[in-house]
Amino acid sequence: MKKYLLSALLLVAPALVAASGGGVHLDKANIDPTNKESLQRGARTFVNYCMGCHSAKYQRYNRLGRDLGISDDDIIQNLMFTGEKTGDLMDIAMTKEMGKKWFGAAPPDLTLVARVRGNDWLYTYLRTFYQDDSRPFGVNNQVFSNVGMPNVLWELQGTQKAVYETVIDDEGHEHQVLEGVEIEEAGSQTPAEFDRTVRDLVNFLAYMGEPIKLERQSLGIKVMLFLFVFFIVAYLLKKEYWKDIH
């Protein structure tokens, strides 16, 4: 019975993750795991903007380079800044204690974040920070309300303001409900360029969550083709063996 319950929970887990957005509409990330240029750009964004606080300690630099078509020299020059070796894990110097002291909670490792949250959730989350002076870092988020994280991509995106809608409840009381966000001050990238930057980053995060995904899918197709051919051969053999009996 426990085994069946566990299987059922695993089946509904994606639905629970989707529901964690709190009813907020999630934009489609539309990532392409076969686009190595996108993955390379995403890796660069991750290292430059995320790895100051977030580790990816289940991913190795050399594995990343092999999968994404990046040479060891390029990895050392563009993705490694503190003297690590290419065989090292993508860890950071900040400890959990330091993270908890500075942010209130230790920033999570991001190796599997795309599998936990989902690609669309990440894509929408990274694009919906807005100014909120009541928060410690001066920003809030439409998808993850009261998140304790600064908007590290604000220089690229610019700053956004919240757009509220007045709604009246069943008792006739008015409430301000967050409807969306809009650009208040432009950043160094246009909205289209920033969307591509975030899409590339999410593409890379999705890759880290399952680096072997494309290889597994390719192998699965080959296995299915083999079984199909084997079925035809086995069927013909069966007819040959049984024709004398009939």
The yes-or-no verdict on residue 145 having pLDDT over 60 is yes
Fold observed for domain 25-211: Cytochrome Bc1 Complex; Chain D, domain 2 (1.10.760)
pLDDT digits (tens, 9 = 90+) for 33-57: 999 999 999 999 999 999 989 999 9
Across the chain, what does the average pLDDT equal? 86
Alpha helices, H only, 60-212: 61-68, 72-78, 96-103, 113-117, 119-127, 154-157, 191-209
Ramachandran class of 207: left when φ > 0, alpha when ψ lies in -120 to 50, beta otherwise = alpha
Which of these, 147, 146, 138, 140, lies nearest to 163 by C-alpha position?
Answer: 140
In residues, how long is the chain?
246
What whole-number distance in Å separates Cα of residue 15 and Cα of residue 112?
A: 17
Task: Give helix 191-209 / helix 36-45 axis angle, nearest 10°.
Answer: 100
Q: Which pLDDT belongs to residue 13?
A: 47
State the pTM of this model. Answer: 0.80
Q: Where are the domains of the chain?
A: 25-211, 217-246
The DSSP line for 44-72 is HHIIIIITTT--EEEEEHHHHHHHHT--H
Confidence of residue 246 (pLDDT cuts 50, 70, 90): low
pLDDT digits (tens, 9 = 90+) for 169-210: 777 777 778 888 999 999 999 999 999 999 999 999 999 999
